[in-house]
Structure 1
Amino acid sequence: MDQRGHGRSTRVPADTSRRAFVADVVHVIDAADLGVADLVGHSMGAHTAMLVAAAHPGLVGRLVLLECDAGGGTTEEAKAVGDYFRSWAVPYATRELAHRDLGDSALCRAWGADLEERADGFYPRFDAEVMARTLSGVMVPCWAEWESVTAPTLVVYAEHGMFTVEQKGRFVERGRNVSRVDLADASHDAHLDAFDPWIDVLTRFIVR
């Protein structure tokens, strides 16, 4: 699913709280009549999936968290992300110009490929202000929620991800029913730059 404020979901939602993101996932599970679902998330999406499993344990069978933590952060970190997105020279006249401006990492290529074409050029499928507000909620520590999760959980970290060795260890240790896999030569966006290893560990856990 495209989370609110992302992709083809509502671009500028009125509510960007963590509670709202959780409610959206629950709505999708109910609307699709899934009963019990396996949730897979990356980064902020993993944070959302974790909170769903904490608040609605009966809806979650298994949980897969790629590059996730419960320790929170600072408002400065959220602001820095917003500032970065505000720095994009949109609209871009062509995708080629966007690729040149954004860079050649796997993440930047994905951003460029997903730009929305409008009459005056290409735009991201998200709003910088919304992203900054949303991330502010992620910066609040949620150890109690994480420690309450009972669903079997696979935590996946990237060798060159955004979390320290200490953060990774603390998160796994404080989980209840957790296994961990580390992806070599991968960045925070391992689902893009270590796709095959990521799909391999994900599939083996879900199938098991």
Structure 2
Amino acid sequence: MLVLSRRSEPDLAVRVAGEPDRDVPVVLVHGMASDHSTWRHLAAALRREGRPVVSVDLRGHGRSGRPDGPYRLDDFRDDLVYVLDNLGIHIADVVGHSLGAHTSLRLAMYEPSRVRRLVLEEIPPMPRDEDDLSEGVTMSSTLGERVRGLLALARDPMPYLRFDKRMGEEIVAEFDVCAPDWWSQLPRVTASTMVISGGERSFLPPRHLRTVADALSESRFVTIDAGHSVHRDRRDDFVRQVRGFLA
């Protein structure tokens, strides 16, 4: 792992495979309570095709540092900008899961020219209005989701052990506020985008993810019936979709 040290912000750990200046790199951004290792299968497939791959540990995860203050969604976005700047990456394809997908989309909204293609797996959208808030779509999980999560934890507990537990409540609080401005900024995204839903087995209703896809200027919507962690529980199908889209 390469650790990017900073004075006033948490250090960021990244795994770089290949040479990012030789081709458009693929940046992989994990979800909450995970780390870069969740992408092993996808990263290996991309490397076999010769693609440079940058797998990020978000702040409060893996080997990255923890902030002194609260966790904020825009700080995750700014961390990705820092990683791109530090590695000299002017444009990238970006793949994100859950919190990582939300962070990746914020990056594409903030600096559209730096994201060429974008894969958003099970992205939690910001609430548009009180009706969205009342659903609490980012707050709960099904029994099946919890069981699959416990099995994954038993196989590899380290990402969860390294995860800063106070993050959950602070980030959920940001999703508890109506954010129509977030929706109004989606047309800024110029990247060709694929939104992947885990179907009805996920706690995120597919119709909300489809609405995100519909709000983007160039997008496709794909359903893989796997629940919230498609890349983990249907990894071959996930890799096939991502490889085809990024090719």
Please confirm whether the aligned pair reaches a TM-score higher than 0.5, indicating the same fold.
yes
1:49 aligns with 2:100: no
Show the counterpart of 1:129: 166
Deviations 1:1-24 (A, max 9, x none): 011111221245524112211110
Show the counterpart of 1:22: 77
Instruction: Flag structure 2 segments of 5+ consecutive residues without an equivalent.
Output: 1-55
Identity %: 29
Pick from 189, 194, 199 the counterpart of residue 229 of structure 2.
Answer: 189
Amino acid at match of 2:163: F
Counterparts of 1:66-105 in structure 2 under 5 Å? 66-72=121-127, 74=133, 104-105=147-148
* Structure 1 runs (4+) greater than 6 angstroms displaced: none
Alpha-carbon shift at residue 169 of structure 1 (Å): 3.0
**Is the 8 Å Cα contact of residues 26 and 52 (structure 1) preserved in structure 2?**
yes
**Is the 8 Å Cα contact of residues 46 and 66 (structure 1) preserved in structure 2?**
yes
TM-score between the two structures when normalised by the length of structure 1:
0.75
Structure 1 residues 172 and 193: CA distance shift in structure 2, 3 A: same
Number of matched pairs: 181
Show the counterpart of 1:172: 213
CA distance in 1, matches of 2:60, 2:136: 19
Q: Which has the higher contact order (CA 8 A, sep 6+)?
A: 1
Deviations 1:50-103 (A, max 9, x none): 00000011211111000114233659959967xx9xxxxxxxxxxxxxxxxxx7
Deviations 1:132-166 (A, max 9, x none): 11232244432123232111101111122222243
TM-score between the two structures when normalised by the length of structure 2:
0.64
Alpha-carbon shift at residue 171 of structure 1 (Å): 1.8
Structure 1 residues 62 and 111: CA distance shift in structure 2, 3 A: same
Show the counterpart of 1:90: none
Instruction: Flag structure 1 segments of 5+ consecutive residues without an equivalent.
Output: 85-102, 118-122
CA distance in 2, matches of 1:165, 1:197: 18
Show the counterpart of 2:153: 111
Deviations 1:101-122 (A, max 9, x none): xx752x32333344349xxxxx
Structure 1 residues 13 and 154: CA distance shift in structure 2, 3 A: farther
CA distance in 1, matches of 2:204, 2:139: 17
Q: Say what the alpha-carbon RMSD is for the aligned residues.
A: 2.9
Pick from 86, 102, 115 the counterpart of residue 31 of structure 1.
Answer: 86
Q: Which has the larger radius of gyration?
A: 1
